[in-house]
Amino acid sequence: MTGRALATRTTTRFATRVATLSLIALLTACGTTPTAPPPASPAPGVRQDSFRLHDTADANEIVLTALGLLDTGYQFGGRNPEAGLDCSGMVSYVVEQVTKRRLPHNAAQIASLTRSIPRSELRPADLVFFNTSGKPYSHMGIYLGDGKFVHAPSTRGKVRVERIDMAYWNTRFTGARSLF
């Protein structure tokens, strides 16, 4: 091999290596994950691990799914329609069916994960809470609009719609909370 051919071959190898290393550096830079900004702090009184839906289109599906459970039997601790539902089991089941996200099976825990709203701002798919056993969040339902909510009432009961302003519910109302 002549000196000139050797120099050309060496230059070509060097150029190939530089191009390869440049390509690797470029691909590595593109493959890094950018850091996300820190999540917004939850509203006052809502835990850091709060449950919040971002697609308000889910509100209609939540209402329709809840109405589809009318006449489902009550079962303490129940969280599926075949075996029966209790109040938090019904809410948890509905939200999971619509959003594929799971809420706890406990009214007080659900309240602690959701955003408090004034009663006057209730919208369909918001949650309503009542004190039915000496505890502020011992019963719950899904607000439907027009002063009505759907809930799984109690033993020997079935999922049904009632007015929030009925004397029984009105005196036991403890809060309105939103999933959105």
Average pLDDT over residues 45-61: 73
Give all strands (DSSP E) within the chain, no chain letters. Answer: 79-80, 84-85, 115-117, 127-130, 139-145, 148-151, 160-163, 173-178
Question: Which range of residues forms the domain containing residue 120?
Answer: 58-178
The rounded distance, in Å, linking the Cα atoms of 168 and 80 is 27
pLDDT tens across 99-155, in order? 999 999 999 999 999 999 999 999 999 999 999 999 989 999 999 999 999 999 987
State how many domains the chain has: 1
Q: Which pLDDT does position 56 carry in this prediction?
A: 80
Q: Establish if 29 belongs to a structural domain.
A: no
Q: Which residue has the higher pLDDT, 9 or 152?
A: 152
CATH code where residue 126 lies? 3.90.1720.10
How many helical (H) and strand (E) elements, i.e. helices and strands, does the chain have? 5, 8
Q: Establish if 42 belongs to a structural domain.
A: no
pLDDT tens across 63-111, in order? 999 999 999 999 999 999 999 999 999 999 999 999 999 999 999 999 9
Q: Establish if 67 belongs to a structural domain.
A: yes
